[in-house]
Structure 1
Amino acid sequence: MTILPAIDLKDGEAVRLTKGLMESAKVYSSQPWELVKRFEELGAEWVHLVDLNGAFAGEPKNLEQIEKIRQNCSVKLELGGGIRDEATIKRYLDLGIDRVILGSIAVKDPEFVKAMAAKYPVVVGIDAIDGYVAVEGWGEVSEMKATDLAKAFADAGVEAIICTDVGRDGTLGGVNVDFTLDIARASGIPTIASGGVRDDSDLAALAVTDEVAGVIIGKAFYEGTIDLEEVMKVYGNG
């Protein structure tokens, strides 16, 4: 099970939100690249990055920090937030991002995502509120069930699906194991759990099944409820 430490970028700083609300942002570092370097030193293979400003704007908004992260760190990077067209995908991959996360566009134009997955390393991000897909930086809730969206990409060639229970994200309230398994079973694609991870018990609950390919750890690291170095040793990294 791959452990993916997470950094959300807002106005050039590393922050974490509660339930996806921008006004809830808590700043953890004004130099995000230093955090990524720390994750690398602790043994992370992947780091999960989100351009929060970009998610709302629909275009890259934290390029300077993303470039600085890539220049200073050798860990693999996946990046989401505001990626809506092929030019942006190519721009990030040319910058050295290892794979891109397509979220809102996966709901609005799934055929585009399938076409991109055939050409580039693509991950689909499925963010849900009460089981329905949230888009545009979680500012809107669609009428599509998360499991139906997962099924749509079953044979599309995407590298993974990241599923986030928005209601739990940043709350330290515990990961939604059932939701993660529902997405994994609907898609048949390696699925990464996200949202609400609190402590080792969450990781243990996810690790009992090989249907979960990874887990994203954010606030649990920043608030000290998970010892990242220790869980890397216990669960390995992939």
Structure 2
Amino acid sequence: MRIVLVGPPGAGKGTQAAYLAKNLSIPHISTGDLFRANISQGTDLGKQARAYMDAGQLVPDEVTIGMAKDRMAQPDAVNGFLLDGFPRNVGQAEALDEMLRSASLKLDAVLDLEVPEDEVVKRIAGRRICRNDSAHVFHVTYNPPETEGVCDACGGELYQRDDDSEETVRTRLEVYHTQTEPIIDYYRAQGLVVTISALGKVTDVTERAMEALKSSDEG
């Protein structure tokens, strides 16, 4: 299957993408991984991206599109892929459609993870990270430490990242509504959108997603 995963920040896209890709035996292709791989390998696209990032500028769509095109051409993506973070806007969605058309391929589904805005804010703004080891992550509501402000694993101080503050989260949501959400209508016009609730346990959401994708494929 060829799937695009969309949803607001805090919807659990990365977590669900990993589970779904494993269950479907297709590669999980995330924008973050594309950028890291191209920059670390010193590809031409990676050098271009680095130049824009070092200058504090947004990486142009054509660079991101080029990275995605190269990755989707790899042997492990021949039978499908799950795109996470790409396309990020309608222009990128149109470019993806053109890429697939030129290879006589098409998307099978666009999985839309739906989460109420207040829940997104609660999920992200409640995160606390250990200063000693960023892999130790807690949540004031869903996974609180035994002692407030102290990491259970190593006793380090827990803190809230600047980009996890409520104000920053709401700004990120506004960017999502303005830039990314329109691709849902774009794909809905093609009959590709499958919307599921991303509330509840991770395993429940994965099960919900798999069922929705199965129904979409059969349809």
TM-score, length-scaled by structure 1:
0.33
Question: Larger relative contact order (C-alpha < 8 A, sep ≥ 6)?
Answer: 2
* Higher strand fraction (1 or 2): 1
* Higher helix fraction (1 or 2): 2
Task: Say which one has the larger Rg.
Answer: 2
TM-score, length-scaled by structure 2:
0.35
